[in-house]
Amino acid sequence: MNFDKIDREARKILRRNDRGGYTVPTAGLYPYQWNWDSCFAAWGFSTFDVKRAWFEIHTLFTGQWDNGMLPHIIFHKRADGYFPGPDVWDVPRVPHTSGISQPPVAATMIRSIYEADKRYGRVHMELIYGRLVSWHRWFIKNRMERGMIAITHPWESGRDNARDWDKAMANIDPTGVGEYHRRDTDHVDPEMRPKKEDYDRYLKIVYHNRDCGWNEEKIAKTGLFRVADVGITFIFLRACRDLLHIALELDHETAEIEGWIKDLEAGVENHWNPKGFYDSVDLKTGEFTDSLSSASFFEWYSGMSGDRMLGHLNRILDEVKFGVPSNDPEDEHFNPKRYWRGPVWGMVNTLIGIGLDEQGHIKTAERLRKETQELIAEHGFYEYFSPLDGAPEGGDVFTWTAAIWLTWAGPHAKGRF
Ligand code: 2M8
């Protein structure tokens, strides 16, 4: 295997998906700047072009709202081929954005980019710090419930059609969404994408929240979907720890962030499903979602050290050829092809693997890293892969897959933040 060639290919993909200051996840299927994809892109760039990495971050934050929210898509310039575009979201600001957020990996990635070159990064870190804090405050003010972080749309989780949302989605009546033309299935095999019944509900929630004027208080009272996402709680807890680290480094006040960390650490307990795993909670019904997804394995990445998910992780790794599937293979709805209901995602493995490594589970972390390396080296820089045979799925020439090759999965990667 010519790993140098694959390294070069990964760098080329980041350059190729660069639209002048921001990186698209992949041409065609996702032609705009996505929040967490962009953070992974910046982290990837930081391995060979730290200036470009910071540029990505600043461009992302041009989309930040006055209330601190960092949207999940920034529509810098009009592009064909994606639905729902800026007209559907109807957010009255420039650059146009969507009206919801995404997993807050930014503080963690930015810390790493800063550490790649502190001399160059110092002034950028100072500039971006306040913006990061205001995004974190937005989560605390609008989304924290019992120490867990709520999402108001499945797209905010980044795991769009995960099993976690099935019960909550079934409670939404999709009547009235009308006709629309999905563009994703023009690019990718429909078997690998969410179903129409999911899209109807995705749109119903967007229309409702848009009719609330994207007002978080109104959405909290009348919203159709409100689930405490175990993935976001873990990711946010980790991000708060990294934000604290940055605050100390820059000599800023830390009490507020320390308070958030304490509340989140307590909140993690509310994600513990007595059936024996970390789970999301439907805040409208108070019920656990009863689904064991890959997000439950962010336990270590979040900095919690209970090893409570270790048994399930070892079991699942033995049940599939390539870990970690986005859904438990023993679940009756497990589907190795359909998006977030079974396939393996390289960036998810990265977060899980880094957490495992940090907490001393070196062998398991290495196993996961090698499996991810093999997936990419054998099949290419795809969006996701089958956990059963590694078959490539979704979009090709994918930004975050290239980024994590350079930062974690590839043989020349540092393998940590
Ligand atoms: C997927 O989500 C978008 C909506 O945000 C979509 O399917 O249209 C998810 O995998 C999400 O996590 C990701 O950020 C995005 C772009 O890669 O695609």
Q: Which token pair is 175?
A: 């009547």
Ligand 1 centroid distance, CA of 176 (Å): 24
Mean pLDDT of the chain: 97
Ligand 1 centroid distance, CA of 73 (Å): 9
Q: What percent of the chain has pLDDT over 70?
A: 100
In this structure, what DSSP letter does residue 147 have?
T
> How high is the pLDDT of residue 149?
99
Query: Does any ligand 1 atom lie closer than 6 A to the CB of residue 37?
Result: yes
> How high is the pLDDT of residue 25?
98
With CA atoms as reference, report the closest residue to 103 among 264, 194, 230: 230
CA 340 to ligand 1: nearest atom = 10
With CA atoms as reference, report the closest residue to 298 among 326, 322, 339: 326
CA distance 168 to 40: 29
Instruction: Name the packing angle between helices 35-45 and 50-61 (round to 10°).
Output: 160
CA dihedral 376, 412, 403, 7 (to 10 degrees): -70
SS3 per residue for 14-31: HHHCECCCCECCECCCEC
The catalytic residues are: 160, 383
> How high is the pLDDT of residue 65?
98
Mean local confidence (pLDDT), 87-102: 97
Mean local confidence (pLDDT), 20-40: 97
Q: Confidence class of residue 213 from pLDDT cuts 50, 70 and 90?
A: very high
> How high is the pLDDT of residue 51?
98
Whole-number Cα distances in Å, 110 to 46, 51, 232, 243: 10, 12, 17, 9
Q: Confidence class of residue 1 from pLDDT cuts 50, 70 and 90?
A: confident
Ligand 1 centroid distance, CA of 101 (Å): 12
**Is the CB of residue 125 less than 8 Å from the CB of residue 94?**
no
Query: Does any ligand 1 atom lie closer than 6 A to the CB of residue 25?
Result: yes
> How high is the pLDDT of residue 417?
86
Beta bridge partners of 149: 144
Query: Does any ligand 1 atom lie closer than 6 A to the CB of residue 393?
Result: no
pLDDT tens sequence across 293-309:
999 999 999 999 999 99
CA 159 to ligand 1: nearest atom = 12
CA 398 to ligand 1: nearest atom = 17
pLDDT tens sequence across 119-153:
999 999 999 999 999 999 999 999 999 999 999 99
Beta bridge partners of 293: 327
Query: Does any ligand 1 atom lie closer than 6 A to the CB of residue 158?
Result: yes
